[in-house]
Amino acid sequence: MLKVLVTGADGFIGSHLVEGLLARGHDVRAFVLYNSFNSWGWLDHLSPDIKNNLDVFAGDIRDPHGVKSALDGCDAVLHLAALIAIPYSYHSPDTYIDTNIKGTLNILQASRELGIKRVVHTSTSEVYGTARFVPITEEHPLLGQSPYSASKIGADQLAYSFYASFELPVVIARPFNTYGPRQSARAVIPTIITQIANGKRQIKLGAVSPTRDFNFVKDTVAGFISALESDAGTGEVVNFGSNYEVSVGDLAQLIAEVMNKPIEIIADDVRMRPKNSEVERLWADNEKARLVFGWEPAYGGIEGLRRGLAETAAWFVDPKNLAAYKSDYYNI
């Protein structure tokens, strides 16, 4: 088993990944963002037996010295720490460059200096921009339609450059839209679920025509672990998606069916992306993940999406979980 550093361990996907790695028997060091409250984010909500097996490092991915200290003694790193909210990237693009590009550079530099054996860098389907062909393979052109996606393209290219220039054993994992328990309300699925769970029947949304390929968090975690534990895929980009496309409008109606509540969708201008920044279509080709890592989604297709939404909604409607979300406010 490996000693693995997980950056962004305090976040949505990161906290689920920590659980998955520990269940596999790996030794996990969880990199969380330092704060004066000593909060470990979602890790604080895990069971005591899980937290007691964690080595937690509080720091900032933008600090090269802290990053190197966190990586010291590790065999591998799963790099998830990033700013990911697209609307906030319109507001504060500088922070996305510092966190997503410089933070990734810090991971790569430290990994090279320390001889880390496996570096799994997290990309995003947003780097493709609006699909020029579907399903989207890893050869699809890249297009930064938001400061967020541009910063991730830069980070991805840096990661590849360290493989090409220094033979750093990097894999670029490119998950499509992940959803599930603990996700921020800035994402569309928690936005819909929390509004319904709080008694709203007129659901405020942005554009409803764009399509997405939604990946349940358990599948995304399985993808990361498959990339970590394999010797294949070095220097490669690999999509992790369900290979199923659904519009935001149809998704909202499906969630309403799962929660057994009738809804009406209300267009909210403040939630709309600028016209040329909206990614209209994302649909993953996941064949490479199957061939390289033996990974396939357990929640694929319409029935898999329905099961994943049911599990997600069940978590959100629990009063202690729902109380953590402000459904009356637009979370950028």
Q: What is the Cα–Cα distance from 82 to 20, expressed in whole angstroms?
A: 20
**Interval 43-60 mean pLDDT:** 94
For domain 3-180+214-244+285-293, the CATH architecture is: 3-Layer(aba) Sandwich (3.40)
61, 272, 274: which is closest to 147 by C-alpha? 274
Distance CA 332, CA 329 (A): 9
How much is the pLDDT for 53?
86
pLDDT range class, residue 23, cuts 50, 70, 90: very high
92 — pLDDT class (breaks 50, 70, 90): very high
Q: How far apart are CA 14 and CA 220, in angstroms?
A: 10
Could you give the percent of the chain with pLDDT greater than 90? 97
AA letter at 64:
P
Q: Determine the residue type at 72.
A: D
How many angstroms separate the CA atoms of 61 and 82, rounded? 8
Pairing between β-strand 246-247 and β-strand 211-212 as defined by DSSP bridges: antiparallel
Residue length of the chain: 332
Q: Where are the domains of the chain?
A: 3-180+214-244+285-293, 188-210+245-281+301-322
Q: Which percentage of the chain shows pLDDT scores above 70? A: 100
- The beta-strand segments (E) located in 99-221 are 118-122, 170-175, 177-179, 202-205, 211-212, 214-216
Q: Is 199 left (phi over 0), alpha (psi -120 to 50) or beta?
A: left
Q: At what angle do helices 147-166 and 103-114 cross, to 10 degrees?
A: 20
Tokens 């010295």 locate to 65
pLDDT band at 328 (very low <50, low <70, confident <90, very high): confident
Cβ contact 125:282 at 8 Å: yes
CA angle at 306 for the pair 302 and 308, rounded to the nearest 5°: 115
**pLDDT single digits (tens) 203-228:** 999 999 999 999 999 999 999 999 99
In sequence order, which residues have a C-beta less than 8 Å from that of residue 69 and are 6 or more positions away? 57, 59
What would the pLDDT profile of 129-186 be if each residue is shown by its tens digit? 999 999 999 999 999 999 999 999 999 999 999 999 999 999 999 999 999 999 999 9
Distances 101 to 71, 171, 332 between C-alpha atoms, Å: 18, 16, 21
* Average pLDDT of the residues of the chain: 97
Q: CA-to-CA distance for 106 and 200, rounded, in angstroms?
A: 44
Superfamily of domain 188-210+245-281+301-322: UDP-galactose 4-epimerase, domain 1 (3.90.25.10)
Residue 324 pLDDT exceeds 90: yes
Residue 327 has pLDDT above 90, yes or no: no
